[in-house]
Amino acid sequence: MIPDPSDMSMSESFSLVRRLSQLGTRIYTKLKGVSVGQDQFGNRYYRERRTPSGRRESRWVIYAGEPEASKVPPEWHIWLHHMRNQPLESNSVYHQSWQKPYQPNQTGTEAAFRQPGHGLSNERRAKATGDYQTWKPHDE
Question: What are phi and psi for residue 62, nearest 5 degrees?
Answer: -110, 115
Provide the sign of the torsion angle of the four alpha carbons 39, 44, 48, 49, taken in this order: positive
Residue type, 12: E
Q: What is the per-residue pLDDT for 13? A: 56
- Mean pLDDT throughout 56-65? 91
Mean pLDDT of the chain: 81
Question: What are phi and psi for residue 29, nearest 5 degrees?
Answer: -65, -45
At 104-123, the pLDDT tens digits run 888 888 888 888 777 777 77
Q: Give me the residues paired with residue 44 across strands.
A: 38, 62
- Mean pLDDT throughout 17-45? 90
**Measured distance CA(47)–CA(57) in Å, rounded:** 7
